[in-house]
């Protein structure tokens, strides 16, 4: 074949590669197979042949309106688009609800009274509050992947309709050339986005598995393992990449399985899963690479992975031990919400409900100093939480901002000069404010709720 190409003046001495594209349509299974045969001429005169085949179903190229499975697939695609449109509206409503709860009022009313700088940074603050909840990030990924998938699919439809040789009355003609190679990149991205969409939807299911006590421990283990396993996966990728490059350089010209770095990755990941007999040639001089790869990946890294999972499981099992007397929180919530809708209260009457208000409160200055200090600290923590989650919410308007600095019990002089100055000019240090509280804060009452 190469000789014929040379006779037809399609190949000369300066040619470095010949690419043959063959497209086959199988009408029995409605699959189009695109095969690329590449002949590469190396500088030393050798010829290397590579064959790449990609197969796609016809409904990915054009929507089908005929009866059968293709029409059902097209109708399911339309129904899925409607479902995701509703889901988009739901996510938008959640974002508006987050904005309303954060501002404490309608966003329009807040913007009217806000300054220009506040209006500029308000969208960033809302996005930050919205994405602090991790499952909202999963919702955004699902929507982005789906709409990107639909965009690539519509782009494929448009590209095919604009190609003259792919018209319904021309396609299949023996003298017409089918060019499907330019569409493979779009279809490849389309399938990758679809896979990412499926994985994200699968992860999203764990959000609702916590409703059942049978899966709650599993979800807790996955949550605690995620960060550790991500770090471990990054380390594993570096190790696999190093071995993939080593196998490509060392065995790429001998074994077809290691002719590229991608194939080397596949071999390293999946070759030993189905079982592989140990060959005595591995241990011959020059075969250390195989032994190192097997020893490091399957005897060291795999054990580290199992150790991380077992350690997290033992910790989560102790922390989330099921109490026999503890009820399912979802059942308790549903039961409480049902009685609340009917106007019934499930809170039992206690003796404090029949006491007078003066018997249920006490002045803060009558409490011990440690209790007063803890009360002030708790108020400041609550105000800090309100500042972080609710814009402009002031829980304690009379809270002071202290600027004085007191000497701690364990503070030591920082230099020899400080020691000599304290010896020559002794000064009484400020009292340690471990139990001290601002005077205007202790002039209030603490009530029992």
SS3 444: coil
Q: What is the pTM of this model?
A: 0.59
Q: Kindly list the strands in the beta sheet with 31-41, ordered across the sheet, starting from the edge strand earlier in the chain.
A: 17-26, 31-41, 47-57
- 394 inside domain: yes
12 part of a folded domain: yes
pLDDT of residue 396: 63
CA 408/CA 82 separation, integer angstroms: 64
User: Does residue 378 form part of some domain?
Assistant: yes
Does residue 153 fall inside a structural domain?
Answer: no
Higher-scoring residue by pLDDT: 356, 429: 356
- How far apart, in whole angstroms, are the C-alpha atoms of residue 303 and residue 191? 33
Choosing from 42, 60, 78, the residue where a domain stops is: 60
Q: Which domain holds residue 369?
A: 357-400+414-447
pLDDT at 188: 79
pLDDT number for residue 338: 82
Q: Which of 43, 60, 77 is the last residue of a domain?
A: 60
**Of residues 144, 147, 154, the one with CA closest to residue 187:** 154
Is 426 contained in some domain?
A: yes
Asked if residue 429 is part of any domain, the answer here is yes
Report yes or no on 44 lying in a domain: yes
Which among 60, 78, 110 is the end of a domain? Answer: 60
Residue 408: pLDDT band with limits 50, 70, 90: very low
Task: Give a yes or no: residue 131 inside a domain.
Answer: no
Tens-place pLDDT, residues 298-331:
666 666 666 766 666 666 666 555 555 667 677 7
Cα–Cα distance list, 261 to 50, 258, 266 (Å): 14, 7, 9
Overall domain count for the chain: 2
CATH of the domain at 19: 2.20.25.110
């Amino acid at each position: 074949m190469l000789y014929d190409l040379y006779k037809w003046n399609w190949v000369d001495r300066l040619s470095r590669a010949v690419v043959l594209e063959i497209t086959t349509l199988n009408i029995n299974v409605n699959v189009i197979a695109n095969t690329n045969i590449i002949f590469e001429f190396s500088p030393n005169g050798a010829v290397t042949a590579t064959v790449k085949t990609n197969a796609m179903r016809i409904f990915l190229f054009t929507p089908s309106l005929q009866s059968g499975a293709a029409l059902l697939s097209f109708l399911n695609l339309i129904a899925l688009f409607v479902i995701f449109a509703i889901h988009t509206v739901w996510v938008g409503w959640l974002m508006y609800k987050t904005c309303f709860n954060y501002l404490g009022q309608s966003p329009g009313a807040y913007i009217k009274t806000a300054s220009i700088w506040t209006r500029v940074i308000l969208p960033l603050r809302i996005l930050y509050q919205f994405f602090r909840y991790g499952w909202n990030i999963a919702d955004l990924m699902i929507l982005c992947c789906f709409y990107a998938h639909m965009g690539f699919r519509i782009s494929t439809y448009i590209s095919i309709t604009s190609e003259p040789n792919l018209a319904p009355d021309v396609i299949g003609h023996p003298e017409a050339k089918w060019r499907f190679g330019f569409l493979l990149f779009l279809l490849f991205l389309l399938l990758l986005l679809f896979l990412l969409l499926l994985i994200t939807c699968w992860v999203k299911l764990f959000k609702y598995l916590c409703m059942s006590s049978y899966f709650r421990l599993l979800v807790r283990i996955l949550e605690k393992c995620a960060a550790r396993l991500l770090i471990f996966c990054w380390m594993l990728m570096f190790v696999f990449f190093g071995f993939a490059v080593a196998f490509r350089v060392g065995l790429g010209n001998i074994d077809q399985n290691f002719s590229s770095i991608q194939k080397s990755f596949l071999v390293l990941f999946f070759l030993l899963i189905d079982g592989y007999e140990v060959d005595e040639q591995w241990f011959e001089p020059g075969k250390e690479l195989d032994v190192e790869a097997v020893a490091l990946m399957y005897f060291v890294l795999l054990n580290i992975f199992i150790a991380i999972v077992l350690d997290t499981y033992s910790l989560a099992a102790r922390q989330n031990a099921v109490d026999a007397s503890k009820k399912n929180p979802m059942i308790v919530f549903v039961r409480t919400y049902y009685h609340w809708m009917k106007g019934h209260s499930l809170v039992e009457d206690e003796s404090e409900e029949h006491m007078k208000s003066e018997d249920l409160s006490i002045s803060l200055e009558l409490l011990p100093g440690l209790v007063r200090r803890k009360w002030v600290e708790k108020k400041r923590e609550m105000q800090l939480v309100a500042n972080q989650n609710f814009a402009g919410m002031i829980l304690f308007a009379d809270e002071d901002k202290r600027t004085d600095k007191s000497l701690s019990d364990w503070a030591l002089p920082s230099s020899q000069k400080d020691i000599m100055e304290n010896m020559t000019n002794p000064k009484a240090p400020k009292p340690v404010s471990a139990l001290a509280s601002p005077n205007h804060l202790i002039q209030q009452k603490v009530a029992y709720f």
